[in-house]
Amino acid sequence: MRYPSRPSLNLTTLISSLQACAQNKNLTKGKEIHAFMLVDGFLSSPLSTTSLISMYSKCNAIADALRVFHTLSADYHNVFTYNAIVAGFVANEMPKPAIESYWRMRVAGIMPDRFTFPCVIKACSDVKGVLETMKIHGLLFKFGLELDIYVGSALVHSYLKFGFMDGAHQVFDELPNRDVVLWNAMINGFSHIGQFDRALDVYKKMGEQGVVPSKFTVTGILSIFAIMGDLNSGRAIHGFVLKMGHDSGVAVLNALIDMYGKCKCIKDSMTIFEMIPERDIFSWNSIICIHEQCSDHDGALRLFSRMLRAGVKPDLVTVTNVLPACAHLAALIHGKEIHSYMIVNGLENDDDGEDEQDDDIYVKNAVMDMYAKCGHMREARLIFDRMSHKDVASWNIMIKGYGMHGFGVEALDLFSGMHDAQLKPDDVTFVGVLSACSHAGLLSQGREFLAQMQSQYGVVPAIEHYTCVIDMLGRAGRLEEAYELVSAMPIEANPVVWRAFLAACLLHGDAVLAEVAAERALELQPEHCGSYVLMSNVYGAAGRYEDVSEVRHAMRQHNVKKAPGCSWIELGDGLHVFVTGDRTHPEDYLIYTSLNSLTARLYEYGYMPNA
């Protein structure tokens, strides 16, 4: 930026230059102009001082702004200089000094104006100064500013931040002129506290009064329909977006992706995603999160790979969505790569002995859960032991991980450690503990935990806990005892319980009890293929092939189809997923050739593979 030669310098030129420095955050040039003003005596004017304060504040040099303010004698302090320093403090996230400056202004007898109050109200809301905000609200009537759009807008935003929706609505209704920003604030305010009906009422009134919704209105309303799962209304807003030409904005398209995803319309979400010419981090995070929530773990990982190839740097939201996908698929190579990326890029706090924030605990839990579900309990335990602060979820992950992989003793030792850490176990903890007892065959301990859950720990046994114990008894061959528990438990058995019992009957070849379990499971959930398949296998193992045919006939009558088997393997070039009869893999010919060769070798050694 060039400045005029010294002879042509005047106050108007200098102030315009200071404003340009403030806009461009060019502190160096701003200081040069300050020096010119000092040398040529331009600082005697409150206008020049106000411009300097504003320039330093917008360049994040609030200490310099304050020094300029104090160079003026008290006689030169006026509403403009005070407004500049108050606004500077607020812009630099220093609300307390802003409020203190406001009160010094009042003590000095300087009357605040319509530009003072919005800044002071913002400062009060930042420090949660409810009483102070209400005092200012009362003062507005004295100054005749209660109907000013700028002051009223600040007051509405403040009340919304405090959750005082009635107060915000009252101020909003009294304002004679309301711009779209204020309408958006009301919609988002009600949405933030879960009052979606009132938010939609505001949106409706906005249309009735002829206020054209902006892009921010659209994103706010779409977020409401996403939470409500209201697909039809969401599609209507999509139509409005296309009509108004808002579909060129990435923020609106991201909101559409989120809405369709939360309404379980994953194909529509992908269609919108592919339309975005320049996707930001929010676009990628939304689409990855949607795939993970819809249990398309392979899709989530493929999108993550695309994101990296596109040169978009993942953040904490990304990795906490991708890590569960790695956990579900036991994709250890991917999980380790993501963990390494987190460490290198500072997304995981590795400082020992310091209290972690909630977000950091959540991230470490996600990494730990990935290692545990991939069977690498050593790595999971290293992370667990290094955490200076652990929440209940941290303990639950480790207990469940040990139990899942047959380390029942280690799981129960950790459960005892929770008591030493003065943490109260919850219902998830006991699912892990009982599952550990089931996998490790610890019958007596499992029974004891079920009996003591409510009396000793205050956790009422739920259906998941009974299912674990029934599975434990079934694995141990205590089928009669398991059946007695299913019949006697205070909660009505669901299909999952009966299928667990049915699987135990298959394991131990008890066709009689299997028929009872299958009958109950099919009564409760006739469309589920699992009960039919288990019963068919029970009859097949007993050599009752006519009954096998009857079960398959019943499946056809009820139009029940067995879900195709799925398997996957993780190699250096990525994750390869296969379903039964899959021919979509680019190297399917070589895969089936190798599979047929292996089958032929098995036949040579006398092994007859199951069909």
Q: Minimal CA–CA distance to 469: which of 499, 497, 508? A: 497
Cβ-contact 498, 521 below 8 angstroms: yes
Q: How far apart are CA 120 and CA 98, in angstroms?
A: 7
The SS3 call for residue 489 is coil
Please state the rounded mean pLDDT for residues 556-569: 79
Mean pLDDT rounded to a whole number for the chain: 88
Q: How far apart are CA 351 and CA 541, in angstroms?
A: 57
pLDDT greater than 90 at residue 562 = no
188 occurs within a structural domain = no
Q: Which range is least confidently modeled, 194-198, 236-240, 280-284?
A: 194-198
pLDDT digits (tens, 9 = 90+) for 362-390: 899 999 999 999 999 999 999 999 998 89
Could you tell me the pLDDT band of residue 186, with boundaries at 50, 70 and 90? Answer: confident
**Cα-Cα-Cα-Cα dihedral of 47, 48, 50, 52, to 10°?**
170
Say which amino acid occupies 529: C
How many angstroms separate the first and last alpha carbons of the chain? 80
Q: Minimal CA–CA distance to 152: which of 126, 182, 123? A: 182
Higher-pLDDT residue of 415, 18: 415
Please state the rounded mean pLDDT for residues 443-451: 93
Q: What is the per-residue pLDDT for 167? A: 87
**Residue-number span of the structural domain to which 598 is assigned:** 569-604
595 occurs within a structural domain = yes
Cβ-contact 368, 398 below 8 angstroms: yes
pLDDT digits (tens, 9 = 90+) for 484-526: 999 999 999 999 999 999 999 999 989 999 999 999 988 888 8
Contacts of 127 (CB under 8 A, 6+ apart): 95, 96, 99
pLDDT greater than 90 at residue 41 = no
599 occurs within a structural domain = yes
Q: Which range is least confidently modeled, 219-228, 348-357, 578-587?
A: 348-357
337 occurs within a structural domain = no
Could you tell me the pLDDT band of residue 581, with boundaries at 50, 70 and 90? Answer: confident
Cβ-contact 338, 322 below 8 angstroms: yes
pLDDT greater than 70 at residue 2 = no
Q: How far apart are CA 309 and CA 299, in angstroms?
A: 15
Contacts of 395 (CB under 8 A, 6+ apart): 414, 415, 417, 418, 421, 423, 425, 429
585 occurs within a structural domain = yes
**Phi, psi dihedral angles at 566 (to 5 degrees):** -135, 140
Instruction: Return the number of other C-beta atoms located less than 10 Å from residue 478's C-beta.
Output: 17
Q: What is the per-residue pLDDT for 7? A: 43
Q: What is the per-residue pLDDT for 540? A: 86
Q: Minimal CA–CA distance to 328: which of 352, 297, 284? A: 297
Q: Minimal CA–CA distance to 28: which of 61, 77, 75? A: 61
pLDDT greater than 80 at residue 212 = yes
pLDDT greater than 50 at residue 352 = no
**Residues pairing with 568 in the sheet:** 577
- Number of structural domains (the chain) is 1
Could you tell me the pLDDT band of residue 46, with boundaries at 50, 70 and 90? Answer: confident
Which tokens sit at 43? 């600082």
580 occurs within a structural domain = yes
Higher-pLDDT residue of 1, 206: 206
- How do beta strands 566-571 and 574-579 pair? antiparallel
408 occurs within a structural domain = no
Cβ-contact 379, 371 below 8 angstroms: yes
Q: What is the per-residue pLDDT for 422? A: 87
Cβ-contact 487, 495 below 8 angstroms: no
pLDDT greater than 90 at residue 179 = no
pLDDT greater than 90 at residue 403 = yes
576 occurs within a structural domain = yes
Q: How far apart are CA 151 and CA 115, in angstroms?
A: 8
pLDDT greater than 60 at residue 3 = no
Q: How far apart are CA 33 and CA 171, in angstroms?
A: 43
Q: How far apart are CA 124 and CA 568, in angstroms?
A: 56
- Exposure on the CB side of residue 410, measured as CA atoms within 13 A: 15
Please state the rounded mean pLDDT for residues 569-573: 75
Higher-pLDDT residue of 470, 39: 470
Please state the rounded mean pLDDT for residues 594-600: 87
**Cα-Cα-Cα-Cα dihedral of 397, 398, 400, 403, to 10°?**
170
Say which amino acid occupies 505: C
Please state the rounded mean pLDDT for residues 127-151: 88
Q: What is the per-residue pLDDT for 433? A: 96
Q: What is the per-residue pLDDT for 357? A: 66
The SS3 call for residue 243 is helix
Which tokens sit at 533? 């398949």
Please state the rounded mean pLDDT for residues 67-95: 87
pLDDT greater than 90 at residue 564 = no
Q: CB burial class (10 A; 0-12, 13-18, 19+) of residue 184?
A: buried
Please state the rounded mean pLDDT for residues 246-260: 90
Contacts of 120 (CB under 8 A, 6+ apart): 86, 98, 99, 102, 112, 136
The SS3 call for residue 477 is coil
Q: How far apart are CA 491 and CA 206, in angstroms?
A: 50
Q: Minimal CA–CA distance to 36: which of 61, 13, 53, 65? A: 13
Q: How far apart are CA 32 and CA 14, in angstroms?
A: 11
H-helix or E-strand spanning residue 149: helix 149-162
Say which amino acid occupies 223: S
Q: What is the per-residue pLDDT for 353? A: 45
Could you tell me the pLDDT band of residue 9, with boundaries at 50, 70 and 90? Answer: low
The rounded percent of the chain whose pLDDT value lies above 70 is 96
Cβ-contact 555, 528 below 8 angstroms: no
